[in-house]
Amino acid sequence: MDGFREEEGRVLITSNRLCNFLEVTDKTLTNWKRQGCPQHSRGWWDLQQVIKWRGVIQSGSDDPVAKKSVNLQQKKLVAEVAYKEAQAELTRIKTDIADGKYIEKEIVEDELSRFFMVFKKSAMSLSRKLANVVGGYVEPIEARRVEQELNDTINDALEQMSVDGVYSAKKKKK
């Protein structure tokens, strides 16, 4: 048959016939060769090895060259997909920034700083307000003790929150 030959049980095919068979150009075949597609000899290709390399059929053998080539292509494809996704994410973030969906760090810091200053002042004044409310029902010394205990608890809570971000109440001993 023209363009085919059999050698040691292998079907060999010419470059021209292989291009026709796989419906690719000779340039594509040249690119495949550069990427590691196994070629039998100049102008001749082992049809089974080429098809295995392209991943059309699963290899029953443990040909390390073909497997390595396919693995490298798969890794390259995965890396290219990850790269394209990262580029798309970067473009999305840039678009969001341009649309004003993000706030500048300095503005956020200033606003949070103001908020927490007001919060601290409000929390610190709670002990005096609550002591005044309780003062009508208890002795003045007891009201001052309650105010001091509330003040200590509030200070402890604010300090814990500023360091750890969480407040854990101390358990009282009986």
Q: What is the pLDDT of residue 34?
A: 87
Domain 4-63 has CATH 1.10.238: no
Q: What is the pLDDT of residue 148?
A: 92
Q: What is the pLDDT of residue 67?
A: 60
Residues 6+ apart with CB under 8 A from 32: 50, 53, 54
pLDDT tens readout for residues 50-92: 888 887 544 445 566 656 655 677 788 888 899 999 999 999 9
* 0.85 surpassed by pTM: no
CB-CB contact of 10 with 41 (8 Å): no
pLDDT at residue 99 greater than cutoff 50: yes
- What is the distance between the alpha carbons of residues 35 and 69, in angstroms, rounded to a whole number? 8
Domain boundaries, the chain: 4-63, 105-163
Angle between helices 47-54 and 26-35 (to 10 degrees): 80
Q: How far apart are the first and last CA of the chain?
A: 101
- Burial tier of 59 (Cβ tally within 10 Å: 0-12, 13-18, 19+): middle
pLDDT tens readout for residues 8-66: 888 899 999 999 988 899 999 998 888 888 888 999 998 888 888 887 544 445 566 65
Q: How many helices (H) and strands (E) does the chain have?
A: 6, 3
Q: What is the pLDDT of residue 91?
A: 93
pLDDT tens readout for residues 142-172: 989 989 999 998 888 888 888 877 777 776 6
For residue 54, the SS3 value is helix
Give the phi and the psi of residue 139 in degrees, each rounded to 5.
Answer: -65, 150
Q: What is the pLDDT of residue 86?
A: 94
